[in-house]
Structure formats: structure tokens, C-alpha cells
């Protein structure tokens, strides 16, 4: 779809997406991401903000960083009942549409959003075209009507194809829904819950030495601070560790996309407990027996636990 900077006012449809449509001071329309989030069925801002960032990436790849900033501009403003200050995005129709595409089309909220923004974008494009191409004959009017009908049908086809594609991806979407409801605990919380008898430093040393997590402590030189820092993949799961850990995307206070290592919830967490018990770590379920040999941990390098 084409980039839209401004558009004629649409006819009201009674849609909830119409009710939250806003206008900037220069008359350009936008939708507040904070207001759009519940209409798309999202409960957590972090996950919705990640969907917006993916939409920004698409726009930037197609039209450049300036267009991405115009169509999905990051704001700091008050929101909610408490009027707290936090991150928000002002989204164009296209940015809203691309954000909805990141959702699960099995959900009626996502399907409604896809159809609404696709149709509104097409209507805006047709509205702009009519300003520059006004038929002066009956035959021309018929030709324009046929063209508009074909373009609207193209929009419906596009939405139908998107719904079908998301249906094929529904198993992954179900996993994402499960993570939203229960994203899993951090390795530090996991240690405290299951292996409190093992010193924290020794526990993480074991995860590194047994190749559950990547060890990049003091792996690069920071020219500005003039000191060694951890590598960019330090603390991320290894190929072996991906059975038990995953990287949760999140947006920090500065609007920068980050990733946090978490333990996969459910059966994977219990499998990790069993694996570490087989390694010899005394757990809350299996404390060391009197007279049992003490497990020795080899500390390869200096560096505290994460």
C-alpha cells in the first residue's frame, strides 16, 4: 500500500476504530497506539510495542527512516486513568494496518482491524485520485466506478489472503498467546525458586560451563568507558539451552528494542530442573544427602552472576 500523509475525512461507520481516530495540529490523522492496543486484543504494552516496531521496520525498508518516523512516531505523553507519562506511538492508517498484521487473525479484533484499515486506506487513495481525475463524461464515470470496484475487490482479496496466511501460522500464534499469559521467569528467579542451596554465582557458572547460556564476559573493549564489557550475546541461550530458555522482546524506557532471557514456561521449566539435578546440583526437591560429595564448580573467569 502507498504511504499516506494526509487524507480526506472518511464517512463515519460506527466502528470503534473511527471513535479513536485523532487529528494532529496540521490536520494529519493518526491513531494512538495506547488506545488502539485494547481494540486489537493486546493486554501487555511490551508485546504491542514490539508489533509496532515491526511495522516501523517494514515502512523504513520500503520508504526510509523519515517515513517510518512520520507514520509511527514515538511520543512521550500521559495516558490511562492515572495519566502517567510513558511511551506511545502516533500511527498512520498504514502503520496501524501493518501493526494489526502482526496479530493473530483468528481473533475477531484483528480481523476487524485488518478489514477496517485496509478499506479506509483504499478509500483514501481513491479519494485522492478523484481530486485529480474527475470524469467529464458518462463513459468516464463508468470507467472510474469500475476501477474503484476493482481496487476495493483487490483490498478484500488482500485481507482474505492475509487471514489465510495467519491461519497457517496459528500454531505459532497460540504459543505467542501462551507466552503473553505466562512469559516464564528469569534465570535469576528460577535459581531462587529451584536451587537456593547453590550459591548464585556458582549456579550461573554452571550454566555457562555446561553450555546452557552463552558466556561472553569481558569479551569486548568499550572505547568510551575505556573498560572491557560483555559481548552482545552474553547470557543468551545456546543451541543446547534453547530447549529451556528463550529471548523475550521488550522496549526499554528509551524506546530501544531489547531482549531478556527467560525460562520457557510449563514442561520446559521442569525439564530444566531435572537436567540440572542430573548434573549434580542440589535442588529444593532433591537436597544433598548427608555424607554426599560436595559438587565443585570451576570458575573460568571473573564476573558476577546475572
pLDDT in tens, 196-253: 989 999 999 999 999 999 999 988 888 888 888 888 889 999 999 999 999 887 766 6
Question: Percentages helix, strand, coil for the chain, rounded to the nearest 5?
Answer: 50, 15, 35
What Rg do the C-alpha atoms of the chain give, in angstroms? 26
pLDDT for position 106: 77
DSSP 198: S
Question: Is the model's pLDDT at 21 over the cut of 90?
Answer: yes
pTM beyond 0.85: the answer is no
Q: Tell me the mean pLDDT in the region 58-68.
A: 87
Cβ neighbours of residue 170 under 8 Å, at least 6 residues apart? 104, 106
- Measured N-to-C along each axis, helices 187-194 and 200-209 cross at an angle, to the nearest 10 degrees, of 120
* Separation CA 86–CA 159 (nearest Å): 33
pLDDT, tens only, 276-302: 999 989 988 877 666 655 555 555 554
Comparing 32-46, 126-140, 185-199, 246-260, the range with the smallest average pLDDT is 126-140
Nine-digit cell string for 227: 573498560
Cα dihedral 63/51/236/269 (nearest 10): -160
Nine-digit cell string for 76: 512521550
Per-residue pLDDT band for 189 (boundaries 50, 70, 90) equals very high
Question: Is the model's pLDDT at 2 over the cut of 70?
Answer: no
Q: Tell me the mean pLDDT in the region 106-126.
A: 78
Question: Is the model's pLDDT at 6 over the cut of 50?
Answer: no
Instruction: Please report how many Cα atoms fall inside a 13 Å half-sphere around the Cα of residue 76, on the Cβ side.
Output: 5
By CB atoms closer than 10 A (0-12, 13-18, 19+), residue 298 is exposed
Highest-confidence segment of 127-136, 165-174, 211-220, 250-259: 211-220
Q: Tell me the mean pLDDT in the region 40-56.
A: 90
Q: Tell me the mean pLDDT in the region 140-151.
A: 65
Single out the residue of 182, 178, 265, 215 nearest to residue 273, CA to CA: 265
Per-residue pLDDT band for 181 (boundaries 50, 70, 90) equals low
Q: Tell me the mean pLDDT in the region 147-152.
A: 64
pLDDT for position 151: 63
Biggest alpha carbon–alpha carbon distance for the chain:
100
* Separation CA 294–CA 61 (nearest Å): 56
pLDDT for position 108: 87
Regarding predicted confidence, which is higher, 272 or 151? 272
Highest-confidence segment of 143-152, 220-229, 250-259: 220-229
Q: What percent of the chain has pLDDT over 70?
A: 67
Q: What are phi and psi of 105, to 5 degrees?
A: -70, -5
* Separation CA 59–CA 49 (nearest Å): 15
Mean pLDDT, the chain, rounded, equals 78
Per-residue pLDDT band for 8 (boundaries 50, 70, 90) equals very low
Amino acid at each position: 500500500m502507498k504511504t499516506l500523509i494526509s487524507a480526506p475525512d472518511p464517512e463515519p461507520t460506527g466502528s470503534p476504530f473511527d471513535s479513536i481516530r485523532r487529528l494532529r495540529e496540521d490536520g494529519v490523522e493518526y491513531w494512538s497506539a495506547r488506545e488502539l492496543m485494547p481494540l486489537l486484543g493486546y493486554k501487555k504494552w511490551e508485546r504491542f510495542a514490539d508489533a509496532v516496531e515491526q511495522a516501523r521496520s517494514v515502512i523504513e525498508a520500503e520508504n526510509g527512516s523519515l517515513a517510518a518516523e512520520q507514520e509511527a512516531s514515538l511520543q512521550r505523553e500521559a495516558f490511562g486513568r492515572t495519566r502517567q507519562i510513558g511511551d506511545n506511538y502516533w500511527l498512520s492508517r498504514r502503520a496501524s494496518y501493518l501493526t494489526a498484521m502482526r496479530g493473530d487473525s483468528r481473533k475477531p479484533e484483528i480481523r476487524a482491524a485488518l478489514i477496517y484499515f485496509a478499506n479506509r486506506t483504499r478509500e483514501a487513495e481513491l479519494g485522492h485520485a478523484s481530486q485529480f481525475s474527475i470524469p467529464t463524461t458518462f463513459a468516464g464515470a463508468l470507467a472510474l466506478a469500475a476501477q474503484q470496484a476493482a481496487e476495493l475487490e483487490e483490498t478484500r482479496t488482500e485481507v482474505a489472503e492475509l487471514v489465510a496466511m495467519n491461519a497457517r501460522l496459528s500454531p505459532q500464534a497460540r504459543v505467542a498467546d501462551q507466552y503473553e499469559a505466562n512469559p516464564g521467569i528469569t534465570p535469576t528467579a528460577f535459581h531462587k525458586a529451584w536451587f537456593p542451596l547453590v550459591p548464585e554465582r556458582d549456579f550461573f557458572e554452571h550454566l555457562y560451563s555446561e553450555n546452557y547460556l552463552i558466556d561472553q564476559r569481558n569479551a569486548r573493549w568499550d572505547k568510551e568507558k575505556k573498560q572491557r564489557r560483555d559481548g552482545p550475546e552474553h547470557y543468551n541461550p545456546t543451541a543446547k539451552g534453547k530447549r529451556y530458555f528463550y529471548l523475550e522482546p521488550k522496549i526499554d524506557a528509551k524506546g530501544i528494542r531489547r531482549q531478556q532471557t527467560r525460562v520457557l514456561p510449563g514442561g520446559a521449566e521442569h525439564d530444566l530442573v531435572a537436567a540440572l539435578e542430573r548434573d549434580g546440583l542440589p535442588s529444593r526437591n532433591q537436597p544433598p544427602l548427608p555424607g554426599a560429595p560436595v559438587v565443585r564448580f570451576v570458575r573460568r573467569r571473573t564476573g558476577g552472576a546475572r
